[in-house]
């Protein structure tokens, strides 16, 4: 394989040195490939910018107060204590289809004395399509920090943002 590549490169160099027409064709091909690469890069950049603008716009259609989470539950891995799943039901009280929501999970280690210390603070995006005025169950893997509580783990959540499904 490497012998074939070496022979190809030697032949290419020989043609570039020995043949003026080949040099012109190679230069034109190089310029065409470079321009094509630049155009593809520019297209990808514009496409990424449009997608980001669309994501930001989707966050403006539904207010956080129009989404309710019912019975959210976090389960913890048995082998290292880290949170590994979040489940519950999302209710969409808006006129747009809910596509996802971002939730902040706060984990606290609470001692029998009543003192609690924050030992984890994570943000998770939950993807769930919920049509207007409907509810859907969600059950998603999360990857939280390893928790080593000295007392009992207490956790809470807060909705940070919601995104509508837009075409």
The C-alpha atoms of residue 74 and residue 128 are separated, in whole angstroms, by 17
Q: What is the pLDDT along the chain (167 residues), one digit of tens a residue?
A: 688 888 888 888 887 788 888 888 888 888 999 999 999 999 999 999 998 888 888 888 899 999 999 999 998 887 777 888 999 999 999 999 999 999 999 999 998 888 889 888 999 999 999 999 999 999 999 887 788 888 888 899 999 999 998 87
The C-alpha atoms of residue 68 and residue 31 are separated, in whole angstroms, by 56
The C-alpha atoms of residue 37 and residue 31 are separated, in whole angstroms, by 10
Nearest-Å Rg of the Cα atoms of the chain is 28
- Residue 30: strand, helix, or coil: helix
């Amino acid at each position: 394989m490497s012998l074939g590549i070496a022979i190809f490169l030697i032949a290419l160099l020989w043609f570039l040195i020995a043949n003026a027409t080949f040099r012109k064709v190679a230069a034109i091909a190089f310029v065409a490939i470079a321009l094509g690469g630049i155009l593809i890069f520019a297209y990808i950049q514009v496409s990424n910018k449009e997608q980001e603008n669309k994501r930001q716009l989707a966050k403006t259609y539904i207010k956080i107060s129009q989404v309710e989470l019912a019975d959210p539950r976090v389960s913890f891995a048995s082998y290292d204590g880290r949170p590994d799943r979040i489940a519950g039901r999302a209710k969409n009280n808006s006129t747009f289809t809910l596509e996802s929501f971002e939730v902040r999970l706060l984990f606290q280690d609470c001692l029998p004395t009543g003192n609690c210390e924050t030992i984890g603070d994570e943000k998770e995006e939950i993807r769930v399509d919920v049509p207007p005025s409907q509810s859907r169950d969600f059950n998603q893997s999360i990857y939280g920090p390893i928790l080593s509580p000295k007392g009992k783990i207490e956790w809470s959540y807060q909705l940070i943002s919601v995104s509508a499904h837009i075409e």
